[in-house]
């Protein structure tokens, strides 16, 4: 047997979600659809209940073996025909002749896809809920952990690490909403034959489709061609790309804040055994965050062929089939994986409040210029005048290598604007956090429901 080639086989992905896309489990999903089709035929009176029962009894990978299906496919060059023949071989009496009755291959394939999507969504949603909980806990824990805000990579005004985490928690919450909202459009199957007319299914085609999909707890494709319409898949893969992008955003923030010259947080590092570099013994690299970022880019890369698959020739061509075998499992497994790894990073994150405080002091009070400006406005100075005064004060402090306070005190003596207590209050980062506490409290209240 050849060694594994795909990294999903040996490096990335949780076993429980990889199992959904394994060869044997995939075969079982397809057999489940064939069995549901047989039972639907029996319900509308097309075949006997005993035939449907026999097909259902034998539609199991314990009886229909992967190896046998592979052998038949090597001869027929058709995957679904291989499955129907392998199942028919195991059925007693005349039951085998009713397998796949009136169906086209993609009635089975796309319906099985929907079953896989349903099981996958449960696992990804569960993982996202755990990550949301982790962010909420961090928001509570670091509600008062003051740090400098940054825009354009430059120091701005103070925020708290808790506020950052509250924002992340809400972003994850929106992804849970998106996954839930796309379910009704995604979890649909079809039983309408080669071009969507149901011609081979007879006069009870619509009832047959209804019965089969009701048993499988799936919705119905309103107007199918030979396949379920791929705008549904586009939406789902788009949500996965969105989720992956958020994971990369969160991980990128940790990578940036872990820089030696910033050093405000760090990925956990197993000091006793973990190696950071094969040549530099001192290195402690944010390798998990980097893995998350790298895989997120791969997930987004699948979106182009996904959209192209929605452009079919007439009622269907085969161009989607080959690449969907890679796109679907890789996108789902890797999205689940990076959500899981992101949760692991933040559950074990190292936060350094003292370094955050020290970094606030690097800019010599400049991030508090807006705070002073706001107090000056409150004292009656026009907004434009207050802004201009603080702009010039900040520039002078930078040019002379002095603190904002030192230069402002000189200006204040001339203009007699603020008292010493007012100046000190305005320059204290903890006093210029606005309604941060209230924002975090609202997030916690909403997500702890």
Which residues belong to the active site? 152, 277
CB contact set of 150 (below 8 Å; sequence gap of 6+): 156
d(CA 162, CA 164) in angstroms, rounded, equals: 5
CA proximity to 366, closest of 333, 417, 406, 338? 406
CB-CB contact of 392 with 400 (8 Å): no
d(CA 360, CA 367) in angstroms, rounded, equals: 8
Which uninterrupted H or E stretch holds 220?
strand 219-220
CB contact set of 377 (below 8 Å; sequence gap of 6+): 383, 386
What letter does residue 423 receive in the DSSP assignment? H
Helices 79-90 and 66-76 cross at an angle (nearest 10°) of 130
CB-CB contact of 357 with 430 (8 Å): no
CA proximity to 56, closest of 69, 37, 82? 37
178 burial level (CB within 10 Å; 0-12, 13-18, 19+): middle
């Amino acid at each position: 047997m050849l060694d594994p080639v795909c990294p999903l086989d040996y490096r990335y992905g949780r076993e429980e979600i990889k199992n959904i896309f394994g060869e044997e489990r995939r075969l079982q999903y397809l057999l489940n659809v064939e069995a549901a089709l047989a039972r639907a035929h029996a319900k509308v009176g097309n075949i006997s209940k005993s035939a449907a029962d026999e097909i259902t009894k034998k539609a199991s990978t314990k009886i229909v073996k992967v190896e046998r299906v592979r052998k038949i496919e090597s001869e027929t060059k058709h995957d679904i025909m291989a499955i129907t023949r392998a199942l028919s071989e195991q059925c007693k009496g005349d039951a085998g002749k009713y397998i796949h009755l009136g169906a086209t291959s993609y009635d089975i394939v796309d319906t099985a896809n929907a079953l896989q999507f349903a099981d996958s969504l449960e696992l990804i949603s569960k993982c996202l809920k755990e990550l949301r909980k982790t962010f909420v806990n961090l928001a509570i824990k670091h509600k008062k952990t003051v740090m400098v805000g940054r825009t354009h990579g430059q120091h701005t005004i103070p925020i708290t690490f808790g506020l950052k985490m509250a924002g992340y928690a809400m972003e994850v919450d929106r992804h849970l909403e998106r996954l839930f909202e796309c379910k009704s459009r995604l979890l649909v199957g079809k039983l309408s034959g080669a071009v969507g007319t149901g011609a081979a299914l007879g006069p009870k085609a619509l009832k047959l489709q209804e019965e089969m999909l009701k048993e499988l707890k799936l919705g119905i494709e309103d107007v199918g061609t030979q396949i379920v319409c791929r705008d549904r898949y586009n939406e789902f893969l788009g949500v996965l790309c969105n989720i992956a992008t958020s994971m990369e955003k969160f991980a990128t923030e940790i990578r940036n804040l872990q820089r030696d010259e910033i050093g405000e947080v760090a990925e956990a590092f197993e000091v006793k055994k973990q190696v950071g570099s094969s040549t530099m013994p001192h290195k402690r690299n944010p390798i998990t965050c980097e893995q998350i970022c790298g895989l997120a880019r791969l997930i987004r890369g699948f979106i182009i062929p996904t959209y192209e698959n929605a452009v079919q020739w007439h009622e269907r061509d085969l161009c989607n089939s080959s690449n969907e075998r890679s796109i679907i499992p890789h996108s789902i497994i890797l999205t689940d994986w990076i959500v899981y790894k992101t949760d692991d990073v933040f559950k074990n994150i190292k936060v350094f409040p003292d370094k955050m405080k020290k970094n606030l002091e690097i800019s010599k009070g400049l991030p508090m210029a807006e705070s002073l400006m706001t107090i000056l406005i409150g004292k009656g100075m026009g907004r434009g005048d207050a802004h201009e005064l603080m702009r010039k004060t900040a520039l002078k402090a930078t040019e002379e290598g002095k603190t904002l306070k030192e230069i402002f005190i000189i200006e204040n003596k001339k203009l007699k604007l603020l008292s010493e207590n007012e100046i000190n209050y305005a320059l204290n980062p903890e006093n210029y956090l606005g309604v941060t506490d209230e924002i975090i409290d609202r997030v916690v209240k909403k997500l702890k429901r």
